[in-house]
Chain A
C-alpha cells in the first residue's frame, strides 16, 4: 500500500493493490473477478427478464433489448458486411455489452462501499488482464473468421495491395490486440484515477464533470472496442475482387 504523502483526513488513494487469489501457480486479481461476476450477472438478469415473456408489442425491458440488438446488428453489419455478420453478431454484441456495462458499472455502482482486504472493486475493464483477454479473443476471432471463410487464401490479405505490405501486416497482427487492450484499459483506468484524485483533493462537486465525462468516454470506449473488433473481423472475411 502506497499512501500518498498528503495526509488529509478525507480519503486515501491506492494504485496497484490487488486482492490476490491463489489458483494453482497463478495469482489472480480477485476484485476483478468479483466485479466481472456482478456485471455478468446483471447482464444475464437483464436478458432473462427481458426475454422471459416475449410479446408482439415490445414494452419495457424487451423494447430496450430489441433496441440494443438493432444497434449492435447495424454496427456489425456495417463493419463485417452482409454475408458474414450473422456469425459474428453474438461475439460483437457480447463484447459491446460486457464492456459497456463494465465501464458504466465501474463509474456508477458505489463499489467502494464494500471494503476488501486488499485492493478495491471497480470496473473490470480497468484491469489490464481483462482488456488483454478481450483483445486476444478478438485476435483469435478474426484469424478464425478469415481462415474458416477463405482457407489459406486468407493469407492473400497480407500481400494486398502489394507484397511490400507483408511486414506491416504482420506487425499489425500484434499491434491490433495491443492497441485494443491498452486503449480500453488506459481510458477506463485514467477515468477512475482522475475521479479518485479529484475526489481525494476536493471531495464534493469538483469530481462531477470528470464523472460525467467518464460516463461519456466509457460508452465511447465500448463502442470503439466493439466497432474495431467487428472491423478487424470484416477485414479478415472481406473478399477482394480482382
Chain B
C-alpha cells in the first residue's frame, strides 16, 4: 500500500491527518470564503429584518401610547358625562318632587275651598228657604186670622185680648 494508507491504519477509529487525502486545504479555502462572504450577505438580511421589526415595534408602541391617551381622555369624558347625567337626574327628581308637592297642596286647598263654598251655599240656601217658609207661614196665619177675625171679634173678646196682651207685655 502507498503512503496515505499507512497512516490511516485500517480496522480502528483514528485521525487521518493527510492533507491531500482529507481534501482539507480546499475545504479550508471554501470555509474561509464562506466565512468572508456569508456573514455580509446573511448579516445584511438579518439586520434589515431586525431593523424592520424594531421599527414596527416602535410604531406599535407609539400607537399604543396614543390609543391609551385617547382612551384615558374618553374615559374622563365619560366620567364627566356620567356626573352630569347624575346631576340632571337628581335635578329632575327634585323638580318632580317639588311639582308633585305643589300640586298636592293646590289640590287639597282647592278641595277645601270647594267644600267650604258648598257648605256656605247650603247654609245660605237653608237660611233663605227657612226665611221664605217662615214668611209664608206668617202670611198664611195672618190671612187665616184676618179671615176668621171679623166673626169672632166682639167687644168682650177684644177687651180680653187687650188685657192679655197688656199682661203679656208686662210679663216680657
Interface residues of A (CB under 8 A from B): 7, 9-12, 56-59, 63-64, 66-67, 70, 107-108, 110, 112-118, 195-196, 199, 203-205, 207-208, 211-212, 215
Contacts and interface: CB of A to CB of B under 8 A. Distances in A.
Contacts of A107: 30
A63 B49 contact: yes
Interface in B17-75: 17-18, 20-27, 29-31, 33-34, 42, 45-46, 49-50, 53-54, 57
B11 A117 contact: yes
Contacts of A108: 27, 30-31, 34
Contact of A211 (B14, B30, B45): B30
B15 interface: yes
| Interface pairs A-B: 3 shortest CB-CB | A112-B22, A115-B16, A11-B21
B49 to A, nearest CB: 6
Contact of A58 (B2, B10, B50): B50
A12 B22 contact: no
B70 to A, nearest CB: 25
Contact of A64 (B2, B9, B11, B46): B46
Contacts of B33: 212
B10 A117 contact: yes
A208 B16 contact: no
A57 B54 contact: yes
Interface centre among B15, B25, B30, B45 (most CB of A within 10 A): B30
Contact of A113 (B20, B24, B53): B24
Interface of B: 2-5, 8-18, 20-27, 29-31, 33-34, 42, 45-46, 49-50, 53-54, 57
Contacts of A116: 13
Interface of B is mostly: helix
Contacts, number: 94
A200 B36 CA distance: 27
B13 A117 contact: yes
Given A211-B26, A212-B30, A114 B46 contact: no
B39 to A, nearest CB: 11
Given A9-B2, A11-B4, A110-B27, A115 B54 contact: no
9 contacts: A12-B5, A57-B57, A59-B50, A108-B34, A114-B16, A115-B13, A118-B10, A211-B27, A211-B30
B53 to A, nearest CB: 6
Nearest to A60: B46
Given A199-B20, A211-B26, 20 more contacts: A11-B18, A11-B23, A12-B5, A57-B53, A57-B57, A58-B53, A63-B50, A67-B46, A108-B31, A110-B22, A110-B23, A110-B27, A112-B16, A113-B22, A114-B13, A114-B16, A116-B13, A117-B10, A199-B23, A212-B33
Given A113-B15, A115-B14, A117-B13, A208 B20 contact: no
B24 A110 contact: yes
Contacts of B11: 117
Nearest to A19: B13
A58 B24 CA distance: 35
A9 B3 contact: yes
Contact of B21 (A12, A66, A212): A12
Nearest to A207: B26
A196 B23 CA distance: 8
A70 B103 CA distance: 78
A120 to B, nearest CB: 9
